[in-house]
Structure 1
Amino acid sequence: MISPVLPKEGTLAAPRKRGRLKVFLGMSPGVGKTYEMLRAARRRKVEGADVVVGVVETHGRKETSSLLRGLEVMARKPMTYRERTLLEFDIDAAIARRPDLLLVDEYAHSNAPGSRHPKRWQDVEEILDAGIEVWTTLNVQHLESLSDVVLRITGVRQRESVPDSALSRADDIELVDITPEELRKRLAEGKVYVPETARLASDNFFKLENLTALRELALRRAAQTVDDQLTARLREQGASGPWAAGERIMVLVTGDTMAAPLVRTGRRLSDMMMDAQWTVAHVDRPSASHHGVGSTGKLSDALKLAEQLGARTAVLSGDDVVRAVLDYAHSNHVTQIVLSKGRDSRLSEWLGRSLAAELLRQAHGIAIHIITDGQDPQTEPRHVPAPRSRDGWRGYAVGVACVVAATALALLLDRTFERVDLGVIYLTAVLAAGAIYGLRPALAAAIVAFLTYNFLFLQPQFSFAIGSPTDVLTLLVFLGVALTTGALAGRVREQARAAQRRASAVSALLAASQSLSGIGDRSEAARILAEQTSAAAGSGAAVLLPHEGELAVVAGTPHKPDLDAEAMAAARWAWEKGEPAGFGTGTLPQVRWTFHPLQGVRARVGVAGIVATALASGSDEEKLALALLDQGAVALERADLAEQALETETLLRTDRFRDALMNSVSHDLRTPLSTVLGASTTLIDLGDKLKPAVRADLLLSIREEAERLSRYVGDLLDMSRLEGGGLNIRSDWIDVRDVLNAAAKRVSRRLGDRKLVRDFPDRLSLVMVDQGLLEQALVNILENAITYSPDGSNIELAAYEDRGAVVISIEDEGKGIPTSELERVFDKFRRMEVPSDRTKGAGLGLAISKGFIEAMNGRIAAASPIMDGKGTRILIRLPKAIATHPNLL
């Protein structure tokens, strides 16, 4: 199992600077790249640098092996493959060791199956990202863009390759160069290969002309790198000049065998034109029938290769290929167009209707490069057509059946009537075949109809011979009309199917957008995204989100998968690097899942996995699935932002509550404490000298202030329970009148000159509430009414019921509440007056009452003024378990 060393999510670390990369470039094996790298490394070690050999292949050369003495050489990691143990470079140990300089030989090496990356250059990229300087070696024939050129020069296809973009990112390139003659001399002396292998190599790959050509390629590539560095330096300094921005290259590819060579040609042209901007484009014709899996795979591979080589990619759409290409070229200021000659028919070429001829005719001011297939047609591997599907054969069978049915009808009409235009019947059959099964069955039906019509109905009958020139013209016209109508019917059907596919994709995206737009919960958004992606891919899908520093599977369809260690390693790689990982990628391709990072507008929010066999590369289903993932990423990010906004609002509310609480503590609690402390101190110090009336007044003050302090503390505790969700409701069937009488008794001592008027009916329905909470809520409201009512006024406490609830009403004759303040009267710490009087509370009573009443599924509201511009009424509505019949009220 391969488990990459990745930083945990949520850890704060300063971003590491990317390490420097130096490549020792040579024209072929044996020029001394590894030898020169080790010599330079020994010099760096003498200068005091920490130099470690990650992997070096000496190939048994004594001179090279001797340079390893004194250098730290890392142990290689054993990998088991087909019952064999292979020793590979240990990338995790290298990152953990973190030397100043790491030597990694053979940049283009292919790793053993099961490794984290298929190629060693990808291992080097990860090490560079970790901030470690790397030196490596490379032969020029391993560059991806030169593989076709090297094949033509040497006749050998290089199986190991490095994208040109990887070499372009190198900070330094040192060319290790010797003459071809000297290299052949070293080969003969056994300094490159053992004698037997050397003789074979000398007669094949190491021919003088081959080495000369490879040397030229190496020199040109090194010179191009120097020119690129000079251009970059001049641009940084703001120097003016004719830089590469003047040339823009467009490479047209299709799903044929020329796609990859065209991409490499585009890269070479870009290099020769001072690293000109280049784009690889494909024109998708909506009316054309879809290519097979093979051509779609070739096209997808070509587009991926273009991205690896540093190109931009574009997929254009239009039935008029020439117009689509030229419109894109003009809008993007393309100066060079590269395309293949193609396999157009001789007639198309003779008429000048081929794509290349049309571009040459219409592309004014744009250079056209036409690339021919360099493979010998005789040696080209014969294309084995894919077996036709059952539906394809059914289409031809239906076309023939339509012609047979038309023939039967034509024979019947021919015997019944004297003059009947039988050709129209056959045209109808051709149209039917085209409308049902498309272009090719329609053309097949047209040919069968042409032959049948000639054989059965034209003189001489039952013969394919044509009796008169008129019949020849009739048959030709019939054939032309049949082919035309069949082709038009087939094209209309293909366009309808393409429109249907696009409509289905748009509908799926719209449905996903509607489903995801209103979701504020991450888990629910992940579930919907997994379902939509699974439906688009036709197989399993999973969504992984970060949780406590690690990725966790949140949702999956058809069921939540249990991912193994390798799959989780690929998922973490996609999350950390923001790149796809798993099947079909360059990271852990042996995993049966393909993981895509979910990139939102502001940040990465998670990873989505799709079963490897579910999607064909470059297919419409893959495009739809990726579009769904983009939508899902935005929805997940929106859900994250909603949760963060809720947390922020909670923190703000907590801060406001804390500030108000501190203000209340500083005033409302300190005042009664000061009164109690002063009165008690006076009694202790002067108790014997005080008159009985004064002593009684001080004791009364102590009791009143202690009661006031108790109410404040009780209110704060009640509000803390409400804010923290710790309210414990113990509901029971109660008579509201009993609770009203108990609350009135508790506040009776505070009434003073005020009069409490009770208005209760003889009978009230029982309600299911918490008696203690309801009583405390009523006490708070009554104390608030007492506080803001003048002496000698009345406070009315009433209760009644309607069909659905028991209603409690508490009215006072105070000056009332301003209309603008009615909506805020139940807010915490909200008081209508500045608390200059110590009888005023902390402003929590009504807020606590509202919390208690709503916790019991009741409702509370305030109305003011109620009479002559004065007075306040507080209404409490407590729902009944069963509505009362109107006749019983």
Structure 2
Amino acid sequence: MSERRRDPESLLRSLKEQTGQSGRGRLKIFFGYAAGVGKTYAMLEAARQVKAQGVDVVIGYIEPHARPQTMALTEGLVSLPVRTVTYKGLSLKELDLDQALKRRPQLILVDELAHTNAPGSRHLKRYQDVEELLKAGIDVYSTVNVQHLESLNDIVASITGIAVRERIPDSVFDEADRVELVDLEPQELIQRLNQGLVYRQGQAQKALSSFFTVENLTALREIALRRTADRVMRITEKVRPQASDYYTDEHILVCLSAAPTNGRIIRTAARLAQAFKGRFTALFVETPAFGSMTDADRRRLRDHIHLAQQLGAQIELLWGEDIPAQIAEFARLAGVSKIVLGRSNTRRPGWGWGKESFSEKLSALAPNLDIYIIPDKQNQSDRPYTPPKKYIPAIEIRLKDLGITLVTLAICTLLSLGFRQIGFSEANIITVYILGVQIVAIVTRGQGCSLIASLAAVLTFNFVFTEPRFTLAAYDEGYPVTFVIMFAAGLLTSSLAGKIKRHAAQSAQTAYRMKVLLETSQQLQQQTTHQGLIDVMAKQLLKMLNKPLVIYDSEERRGQRQLTPPCVYNTEASVPESELVNPNEQAVADWVFRNNKRAGASTATLGSARCYYLAIRAADTVYGVVGIALNGEPLDPFENNLVLSMLSEGALALDKETLARRKEEAQMQVKNEQLRANLLRSISHDLRTPLTSISGNAGILLNSPQSLDSTRSRQLIADIAEDSAWLINLVENLLSITKIENGTMSLNLQTELMEEVITEALQHISRHRREHHIVHEECPQIVLVRIDSQLMMQVIINLVNNAIQYTPEGSRITIRSFLEGQELVVEVADDGPGIPDAMKERIFDLFYTSRGQIADSRRGMGLGLALCQSIISAHGGRLAVRDNVPHGALFSFRCPAEEVCAYESTVDFNRGRR
């Protein structure tokens, strides 16, 4: 029984659901192999069917075809106004992206996905407009032909002889939610052309004689069918990644250059990587000749790097003079299995016979690699390209370098004269001059002075040290050979010295950049605040790029992140801040923040901006935007990669800081919830008991006033007063604890006499003090302290009430204060049963009672001691507990003394002052 095959579109829907793209719009592409097969017609028919189901459908842009049957299907569909752009005297019609986003339909129709927008548009390409619509949650229907796919552009051009300029990355096609192949037999398409249903009669005849031949259409149809089948296969493989043949060890490497045909080589390598399901890397080796490249070649190289990125390549950059050796070494370290080269790269520059070709040397250096040589026939529109020749240092002569050269030769001459007097041979003297040439090559700039030094050394040696001396003639027949060898040795040594100097300069620059990157990582790890992380990123970017920066931070408001006002880090006073921060620049930064993509200068999106904007992002969260003022000079690929690495590391640090802050807030919330639960549990019992007593006693007094004698009435009233006072004290403690937990408690510090505070506090303690013997031993001196008297009074009340509650009747409670050094010590001691050592560590915790558990069976919520500890801590002290000798507990705290005078008194609260 054959296995039932799942529908590809259902597989894709399942994949999208697994990847969590429910909030994103869906893209459906109507795919064809040539104009006229009916893509727009099929799209409009599908839109009308969807509209009949109640979906809000609008037309964003439909190409104005001269096809009555197609345009008739637009009737009954809402069309958004198009945007008119005047360019070189022409009025161009474009999709109005802002109107579409404002209208926000459920489905929008956008014809010609590969279209290039008019200058001045937000995006360079229409597929980028569609991407923004999808990100906003709007479904899109669009159309595209097979020749508009980037990786197939060269194949189609080789078949038809026409290079299509408007292209889309293959990723747009592959990641579409649905692709509907609109197919038509080539003969039927040609018949439609003859009937004038595709183009006007004159255009149709011209098309039939060039592009629309049966052979061309058949080949294009085959490519379209194969490409659609490849997409289905990729979808199937993604849905079941556990297939054993899904991942391979293939690693495809393509070499980048500024040649116009390099794009074709990159596309071939991309198709090869897709076919082998392997990794794809694009490598550029920067040689000393890179500095002499023309602006056009530099732009073309950047375009090729961008193309490789679009096709999924990992960009790698190396520096060196021997390109085959650099490629072979990288391939060995990176595990490359296949290399793709263009034929223009296969011949090494040089003279003479037997020179190895580029591919031959690469094969000799890396014999285990498969090397693919791609023919690179240029299109007629491409100007002839001449690869950069071997690097020849610039002949640059400065007066300072010329002076150094003359001084060095003079010193060499003086040394040589000294050696001649000593009896050294001419070979030793020649060595001195070669050394001088090396010194000149190292110290001076360029190779001009090295050339002069080599020639001058030969002439000076001939003039001073050969016979006849002080003439340029030479009697010995061997001298000309000596002069030639000496000149060649000087040139060779100076060339090697210059090469070493260039390598050292490049290594120093690379090391500096790596140092900045390492410093960034280290400094980010040391920061603990959000602003500190932003400042580190700005400082390190300035250090590496030396270009003005604008950083837009973000903050959460009402559950969403929003940009904050920008901060400018300007290294050049010549760049006014108004150029870096204005409504246009802020609009670009806001677009980058909302869309999580790069934009601005040197990009295809809002390219007229002054700065190049990048998102500081970690996964899908954007923490800010960085704008770099490029001043017309785009970042080179190596710099761009370093900037992305620094921003990525900074975003990870910001993400870590945000998670830590949220974790802390969550812990605080859990703590508050626990506090609230404990309060409710304690209050449910502790408030009910006194309230029941008050209600009962009040009811007796109201209902039976005549049956109660005066003693009984006073007892009931006293009980009511005591329970009310207990409730007041409880509420005061609760309010104080709440202020402390919220951080809103403030101290009203004043200079007070501690004895007066203690005396006042003892007047407000529990009425059960009559059952205990309370003694106040005042300090022998008059000591003034700086305290909050109300809060300190509450501490004394709580400590004494705690002693009353947990000691038996008749116990002695002593409050004493005494001066110890420059501090006043206050102690509250009792002679009760004391506190076990195991409880002393937790006795100041909230809701902890003498039973070691949450109090819910006796009156006492475990708030008093915790509140006392918080108040004393706010005064800069600490409440401590220890055993009272011979038995009991003793609580003590200290306060700094302000002023001290002699005095002595003791108060027994059961007998009065004595």
Other-structure match for 2:800: 782
Other-structure match for 1:655: 673
Q: Label 1:327 to 1:113 Cα distance change in 2 as closer, same or farther (>3 A).
A: same
Check if 1:878 corresponds to 2:895. yes
Aligned residues: 856
Give a deviation string over 1:38-77, Cα, whole Å, max 9, x none: 5776788789987644322335555655554555443212
Q: Does the 8 Å CA contact 2:58/2:105 hold for their aligned counterparts?
A: yes
Q: Does the 8 Å CA contact 1:542/1:556 hold for their aligned counterparts?
A: yes
Q: Does the 8 Å CA contact 1:455/1:461 hold for their aligned counterparts?
A: no
Q: Does the 8 Å CA contact 1:806/1:877 hold for their aligned counterparts?
A: yes
Q: Does the 8 Å CA contact 1:800/1:808 hold for their aligned counterparts?
A: yes
Other-structure match for 1:853: 872
CA distance in 1, matches of 2:354, 2:401: 31
Shift of 1:398: 5.9
Check if 1:281 corresponds to 2:282. yes
Q: Does the 8 Å CA contact 2:56/2:107 hold for their aligned counterparts?
A: yes
Bigger drift between 681-690 and 552-561 goes to 552-561
Shift of 1:250: 1.9
What amino acid maps onto 1:509 in structure 2? L
Q: Does the 8 Å CA contact 1:436/1:493 hold for their aligned counterparts?
A: no
CA distance in 2, matches of 1:482, 1:409: 17
CA distance in 1, matches of 2:53, 2:634: 54
1:251 match: secondary structure: strand
Q: Label 1:450 to 1:779 Cα distance change in 2 as closer, same or farther (>3 A).
A: same
Shift of 1:781: 1.7
Other-structure match for 1:10: none
Other-structure match for 1:452: 456
Q: Label 1:762 to 1:573 Cα distance change in 2 as closer, same or farther (>3 A).
A: same
What amino acid maps onto 2:839 in structure 1? E
Check if 1:120 corresponds to 2:137. no
What amino acid maps onto 1:582 in structure 2? G
Other-structure match for 2:817: 799
Q: Label 1:64 to 1:830 Cα distance change in 2 as closer, same or farther (>3 A).
A: closer
Check if 1:78 corresponds to 2:96. no
User: Which of 215, 224, 227 does residue 226 from structure 2 map onto?
Assistant: 224
Runs of 5+ unmatched residues, structure 2: 1-19, 571-576, 902-914
Other-structure match for 2:551: 542
What amino acid maps onto 1:408 in structure 2? A
What amino acid maps onto 1:281 in structure 2? A
1:427 match: secondary structure: helix
Q: Label 1:791 to 1:95 Cα distance change in 2 as closer, same or farther (>3 A).
A: same
Q: Does the 8 Å CA contact 1:108/1:138 hold for their aligned counterparts?
A: yes
Other-structure match for 1:301: 303
Give a deviation string over 1:79-122, Cα, whole Å, max 9, x none: 46679764311234445666676443322221123323211122
1:851 match: secondary structure: helix
Runs of 5+ unmatched residues, structure 1: 1-12, 885-889
1:705 match: secondary structure: helix
1:864 match: secondary structure: strand
Give a deviation string over 1:686-724, Cα, whole Å, max 9, x none: 443345444443333222222222211221122222223
Other-structure match for 2:564: 553
CA distance in 2, matches of 1:721, 1:570: 46
Other-structure match for 2:116: 110
CA distance in 1, matches of 2:520, 2:243: 50
Check if 1:731 corresponds to 2:734. no
Q: Does the 8 Å CA contact 1:512/1:628 hold for their aligned counterparts?
A: yes
1:597 match: secondary structure: strand
Check if 1:676 corresponds to 2:694. yes
Q: Does the 8 Å CA contact 1:297/1:616 hold for their aligned counterparts?
A: no
Other-structure match for 1:5: none
Check if 1:864 corresponds to 2:882. yes
TM-score w.r.t. structure 1 length? 0.82
What amino acid maps onto 1:360 in structure 2? S
Q: Label 1:777 to 1:250 Cα distance change in 2 as closer, same or farther (>3 A).
A: same
Other-structure match for 2:517: 509
Shift of 1:484: 4.5
Q: Does the 8 Å CA contact 1:25/1:173 hold for their aligned counterparts?
A: yes
Shift of 1:222: 0.7
Other-structure match for 2:528: 520
CA distance in 1, matches of 2:743, 2:382: 80
User: Which of 761, 767, 792 does residue 743 from structure 1 map onto?
Assistant: 761
Bigger drift between 293-302 and 511-520 goes to 293-302
Q: Label 1:514 to 1:70 Cα distance change in 2 as closer, same or farther (>3 A).
A: closer
Other-structure match for 1:339: 341
Shift of 1:544: 2.6
CA distance in 2, matches of 1:703, 1:181: 103
Shift of 1:827: 2.0
What amino acid maps onto 1:221 in structure 2? I
Q: Does the 8 Å CA contact 1:679/1:699 hold for their aligned counterparts?
A: yes
CA distance in 2, matches of 1:128, 1:765: 76
CA RMSD, Structure 1 to Structure 2 (Å)? 4.6
Shift of 1:402: 4.1
CA distance in 2, matches of 1:83, 1:376: 30
Shift of 1:455: 2.8
Q: Label 1:367 to 1:129 Cα distance change in 2 as closer, same or farther (>3 A).
A: same
Other-structure match for 1:814: 832
Q: Does the 8 Å CA contact 2:62/2:110 hold for their aligned counterparts?
A: yes
Other-structure match for 2:5: none
1:541 match: secondary structure: strand
User: Which of 442, 445, 449 does residue 435 from structure 1 map onto?
Assistant: 442
Give a deviation string over 1:456-485, Cα, whole Å, max 9, x none: 323688999987664355345434543443
Other-structure match for 2:739: 721
Q: Label 1:85 to 1:797 Cα distance change in 2 as closer, same or farther (>3 A).
A: farther
Check if 1:174 corresponds to 2:192. no
Other-structure match for 1:578: 596
TM-score w.r.t. structure 2 length? 0.80
Q: Label 1:879 to 1:64 Cα distance change in 2 as closer, same or farther (>3 A).
A: same
Q: Label 1:334 to 1:530 Cα distance change in 2 as closer, same or farther (>3 A).
A: closer
Q: Does the 8 Å CA contact 2:286/2:317 hold for their aligned counterparts?
A: no
Bigger drift between 75-84 and 42-51 goes to 42-51
Q: Does the 8 Å CA contact 1:526/1:555 hold for their aligned counterparts?
A: no
Give a deviation string over 1:400-424, Cα, whole Å, max 9, x none: 5443223323444556645563433
What amino acid maps onto 2:255 in structure 1? L
Other-structure match for 2:574: none
User: Which of 250, 253, 267 does residue 256 from structure 2 map onto?
Assistant: 253
Q: Does the 8 Å CA contact 2:42/2:182 hold for their aligned counterparts?
A: no
Bigger drift between 724-733 and 31-40 goes to 31-40
CA distance in 1, matches of 2:797, 2:48: 89
What amino acid maps onto 2:556 in structure 1? H
Check if 1:144 corresponds to 2:161. no
Other-structure match for 1:844: 863
CA distance in 1, matches of 2:471, 2:347: 36
CA distance in 1, matches of 2:893, 2:527: 35
Return the structure number with greater relative CO, CA threshold 8 A, min gap 6: 1
Other-structure match for 1:8: none
Alignment of 1:44-443 (within 5 A): 52-58=58-64, 60=66, 65=71, 68-69=74-75, 71-79=77-85, 86-94=92-100, 102-129=108-135, 134-145=140-151, 158-170=164-176, 171-175=179-183, 178=186, 182=190, 186=194, 192=199, 195=202, 202=206, 208=210, 215=217, 218-229=220-231, 231-232=233-234, 235=237, 248-254=251-257, 259-270=262-273, 274=275, 276-277=277-278, 279-282=280-283, 284=285, 294=295, 298-315=300-317, 322=324, 325-326=327-328, 329=331, 334-340=336-342, 341-342=344-345, 345-347=348-350, 355-371=358-374, 374-375=377-378, 380=383, 400-413=402-415, 417-418=420-421, 421-436=428-443, 441=446, 443=447
Alignment of 1:620-631 (within 5 A): 620-631=638-649
What amino acid maps onto 1:652 in structure 2? V
Give a deviation string over 1:321-367, Cα, whole Å, max 9, x none: 65664566567765431123438644489555554212223444533
Give a deviation string over 1:359-408, Cα, whole Å, max 9, x none: 2234445331234653499994587999x9xx977677666544322332
Give a deviation string over 1:254-286, Cα, whole Å, max 9, x none: 455554342133235457xx4743523215579
Q: Label 1:207 to 1:636 Cα distance change in 2 as closer, same or farther (>3 A).
A: same
1:859 match: secondary structure: coil
What amino acid maps onto 1:756 in structure 2? I
Give a deviation string over 1:511-570, Cα, whole Å, max 9, x none: 333433243332343343333334433211303314323522255232798855554444
